[in-house]
Amino acid sequence: MPKEKSATQRINSLREQILEHNHKYYVLDAPEIPDAEYDRLMLELQSLEKEFPQLVTEDSPTQRVGAEPLKEFVQVKHRVPMLSLGNAFSDDDVQDFHHRVTEHLDADGMEYVVEPKLDGLAISLRYESGILVQAATRGDGATGEDVTHNIRTVKSVPLHLRGKNIPDLLEVRGEVFMPKKGFEQLNARQVKAGEKEFANPRNAAAGSLRQLDSSITASRPLSMYIYGVGEKSDSLEWSTHHEMLSTFKNLGLPVCPEIQKVQGVQELLGYYQNLGEKRNSLPYEIDGVVYKVNDLSFQTRLGFVSRAPRWAIAHKFPAQEELSKVLDIDVQVGRTGALTPVARLEPIFVGGVTVTNATLHNQDELERKDIRIGDTVIIRRAGDVIPQVVSVVLSKRPEKTEKFKLPDKCPVCDSAVIRVEGEAVARCTGGLYCAAQRKEAIKHFASRKAMDIDGLGDKLVDQFFEADLIKTVADLYQLKVDDLLKLERMGEKSVDNLLVAIEKSKKTTLPRFLFSLGIREVGEATALALASHFADLEKIEAADSDTLQKVPDVGPVVAKHIAVFFQQPHNREVVDSLLKAGIAWPAYVRENTGQILDKKTFVLTGTLSSMGRSEAKAKLQALGAKVTGSVSKNTHFVVAGADPGSKVDKAKKLEIRVLDEEEFEQLLKQPDEYL
């Protein structure tokens, strides 16, 4: 058993290491050691503290969760009031703000600090001799609530300040928020536990801080950025807001990396525009940007009106949530027979577009949210994400509404609808008898990432069906000029263009062809993996489930879908007639290992517009490639999306090939061109 003296030394060393890693992980966002190693340090510290309870201190990293839940929240008076912000909704409002500022100060130009407006809760942290002694909510600005026990569990909040020049007193203000990813994971957990989902990250953050039991808060993924100051020692002095933020960073406090210094009103609006474009790729929700006069003596001269400073303003983005009404609920049948309930909505302008429909996903989702015809609902449309029904406003529910249930007969072909146990989706059992499924199969076949038949969109496919021109995808290649000319809005020119596009589509690649068949669970990546493993179609058609499972990323379920597909005589007939019609692809060169990108190492950086990072990674891995996190001389390719980081610079230095998004997509289609 270690003696107390050596235990003290070890405890101090562990605490120091843990604090250092916390700072790197939670504040600088640049972890240095694997999570498992961090966990080992923490475990060792916990067990030493258990053995020597007299050595436990309040600021030990093990003490983030309080032992006992509180009975109630205690009120805290803010000795320096916590301010709120006035709002600007248009460029004109921003111009007016700038004029007010420059006129009041009798200045020509103006330097501002621009910050993302985090959508969370304003919190004040009080550090005395560098130790976090109190955290409080804003409340009404003059009096808030003591949430120290909960804030101590927020990992990006240091329990004590770093560095040599620790002030006697420093109160900082900032926003506690829940990052998007953590919010999604939390909601998934809530659903699993049969608990209510949170409507948005802000509500989730607020709900998490309003807990008397800090062990609940500790289980919630909260984070914090600091952007302001309250009471402080006179020894702390700055001439600008920007300087003050630098000091905060040096003291180990988390400051948002998107904060910048700009000059004049045009640069304010430029930042607003840029951050608006970046908004969806940020890991946290923002609802606008904040402009602050940088010079602190100017701030003092400008002062306040009521509780809002004259030296700052929030420029809000258009709302992403609005109310609408559910006029009806339709049921759509997809390519694989999946029944999807869709809410028809009273048109509503939200997130920059007019929304009239929103998917309700499936029966479980419908039941969870209990969405009914006639309900008033919150509609959310964030960026390019499809509109969602967030929740029902129950207080506005009309009398005599009924729970909505999916039908047990297909609304298109009247076949039975079944729901396999353990699956969320109910499906029509009609298969190719069901016109809806056939139609969707053709739309998929013609789509850009499949056979890419230019000009053959959803509307035209609908017309073909109404005119009874096609039943399967093979019929596309038998279409005659005269038949097409009979269709509405199809003149000679468009008929000609369409037939040329259909002809052109015959020259394709094996992965595209496989993907276009619409086999369940066979997406682009799986199609590519199948092609590179087998190299020819006949082998795939002949493979049984076991053989198929030798392909990387093909599990028993996918293997079964593929095998069953090719065992169906009508599917074989369609494939044969497609080949007879002249669809062909260049011979697939098979690597020895069957994986074309085997031994090639990739690094992904920046944001891809067409797919997420994990999808890109899966696609590369399906081709045998290795995907790593950092660039070294062993890296073969760096894939750079929008706003790539320093990895691209490093790649260039090491003369490693950097692919932009277009090249990357081409590589996924034709990897051999890049080898």
Binding site for ligand 9MJ (CB under 6 A): 83, 85, 115, 117-118, 175, 227-228, 290, 312
CB of 307 or CB of 449, closer to ligand 9MJ = 307
Comparing CB distances to ligand 9MJ, the nearer of 117 and 444 is 117
Find all residues with CB under 8 Å of 577, minimum gap 6, and list them: 474, 477
CA-based radius of gyration for the chain: 30
Residues with Cβ < 8 Å from 405, sequence gap 6 or more?
363, 366
Concatenated DSSP letters of 384-406: TSPPEEEEE-GGGPPSS------
Q: How far is the CB of 228 from ligand 9MJ (least distance, A)?
A: 5
SS (H, E, C) 291-309: EEECEHHHHHHHCEECCEE
8-state DSSP, 23: I
119 or 440, CB closer to ligand 9MJ? Answer: 119
Catalytic residue (one of 117, 316, 369, 439):
117
Residue (113 or 333) nearer to ligand 9MJ, CB = 113
- Residue for token pair 């589509």: 505
Which of 303, 457 has the CB closer to ligand 9MJ?
303
Q: Active-site residue 117, yes or no?
A: yes
SS (H, E, C) 160-212: ECCCCCCCCEEEEEEEEECCHHHHHHHHHHHHHCCCCCCCCHHHHHHHHHCCC
Q: State how far the Cα of 619 lies from the Cα of 524, in Å rounded to an integer.
A: 8
Supply the minimum distance, in Å, between the C-beta of residue 138 and ligand 9MJ: 9
Asked whether 637 and 600 are in contact (CB, 8 A), the reply is: yes
| Shortest reach from residue 290's CB to ligand 9MJ, in Å | 4
Our CB check for ligand 9MJ shows the closer of 311 and 445 to be 311
d(CA 129, CA 61): 18
Residues in the chain, total: 675
The least distance separating ligand 9MJ from the CB of residue 447, rounded to whole angstroms, comes to 41
At 82, list the tokens.
């916590």
Q: Of 66 and 228, which has the nearer Cβ to ligand 9MJ?
A: 228
Q: Read off φ and ψ for residue 358, nearest 5 degrees.
A: -150, 135
- Of 192, 180, 200, whose CA–CA distance to 364 is shortest? 192
Shortest CB 172 distance to ligand 9MJ, Å? 12
Closest to 246 measured CA to CA, from 263, 233, 261: 261
**CA 239, CA 296: separation in Å to the nearest integer?**
6
Cα distance between residue 345 and residue 320, in whole Å: 16
Least distance (Å) between residue 461 CB and ligand 9MJ: 47
Shortest approach of ligand 9MJ to residue 118 CB, angstroms? 4
Contact at 8 Å (CB) between 220 and 208?
yes
Q: Are 372 and 326 in contact (CB under 8 A)?
A: yes
Taking the C-alpha atoms of 198, 200, 203 and 208 in order, what is their torsion angle to the nearest 10 degrees? 60
Helical (H) or strand (E) element with 359: strand 353-359
Strand locations in 264-336 (E):
286-293, 304-305, 308-309, 312-316, 321-333
Shortest Cβ 608–ligand 9MJ spacing (Å): 28
The least distance separating ligand 9MJ from the CB of residue 289, rounded to whole angstroms, comes to 8
CA distance 559 to 544: 8
Least distance in angstroms from the C-beta of 235 to ligand 9MJ: 23
Phi, psi dihedral angles at 37 (to 5 degrees): -70, -40
User: 228 vs 624, which CB is nearer to ligand 9MJ?
Assistant: 228
Smallest distance, ligand 9MJ to C-beta of residue 509, A: 48
Q: Virtual CA dihedral for 149, 150, 152, 154, nearest 10 degrees?
A: 180
Residue 175: which of 89, 94, 84 has the closest Cα?
A: 84
Sequence-ordered alpha helix ranges (H) in 30-70 = 35-51
For CA atoms 314, 114, 152, 77, give the dihedral sign. Answer: negative
**Residue placing its CB nearer to ligand 9MJ in the complex, 314 or 498:** 314
Minimum distance, C-beta of residue 437 to ligand 9MJ, in the bound complex (Å): 49
Q: State the DSSP code for 267.
A: H
Neighbours of 599 (CB within 10 A): 11
Q: Which is nearer to ligand 9MJ, 147 or 651 (CB)?
A: 147
Q: 358, 363, 453: which is closest to 406 by C-alpha?
A: 363
Which residues does the annotation mark as catalytic?
A: 117
